[in-house]
């Protein structure tokens, strides 16, 4: 009788472990969907007028936490400065971003046109890059070297 009871406990623990593993593996997918895990397409034009079509475009930057350690950040929004505050403009609302160099080595100035036609000029809050997939592979385009990003 103890052998049967031990087998049931072992089976129950295995089922619990399996369910826990499934939940653990599915959590990032659910989190990405809740965080606006949409995929965006865009055409980026660099300062040499070269155009690159990108799929799954993100705004990327690395946060330095020590001399040898960095935390990567992949955003589906554009962090910009408005006065002393930081505004995160969602890619879902952006039609086009025109970029121009700023003074004193600061991140570029972004003239953002929203899909509803509203425009605003901001300084990027972070000197980041636009990353995505091109027909030839993964591409990283530093914002400081871009003149325009048009979302499709």
65 and 133 co-located in one domain: yes
pLDDT at 146: 97
Residues of the chain falling short of pLDDT 50: 7, 9, 11, 15-35
* Domains of the chain: total: 2
pLDDT at 34: 38
106 and 121 co-located in one domain: yes
How many Å apart are CA 147 and CA 47, to the nearest integer?
Answer: 5
pLDDT at 2: 56
* pTM for this predicted structure: 0.73
49 and 101 co-located in one domain: yes
30 and 54 co-located in one domain: no
pLDDT at 104: 82
Instruction: Give the structural domain span for 10.
Output: 1-35
CA distances to 36, 57, 128, 137 from 105, rounded to whole Å, are: 32, 25, 13, 30
22 and 48 co-located in one domain: no
11 and 60 co-located in one domain: no
pLDDT at 105: 83
62 and 99 co-located in one domain: yes
pLDDT at 103: 82
């Amino acid at each position: 009788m103890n052998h049967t009871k031990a087998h049931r406990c072992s089976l129950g623990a295995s089922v619990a472990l399996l369910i826990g593993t499934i939940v653990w593996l599915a959590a990032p997918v659910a989190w990405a969907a809740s965080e606006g895990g949409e995929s965006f397409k865009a055409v980026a034009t660099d300062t040499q007028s070269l155009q690159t079509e990108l799929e799954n475009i993100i705004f990327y930057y690395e946060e330095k936490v020590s001399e040898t350690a960095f935390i990567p950040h992949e955003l589906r929004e554009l962090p910009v400065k408005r006065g002393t505050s930081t505004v995160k403009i969602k890619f879902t609302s952006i039609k086009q971003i025109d970029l121009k160099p700023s003074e004193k080595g600061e991140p570029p100035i972004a003239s953002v046109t929203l899909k509803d036609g509203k425009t605003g000029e901001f300084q990027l809050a972070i000197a980041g890059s636009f990353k995505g997939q091109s027909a030839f592979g993964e591409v990283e385009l530093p914002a400081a070297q871009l003149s325009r990003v048009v979302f499709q």
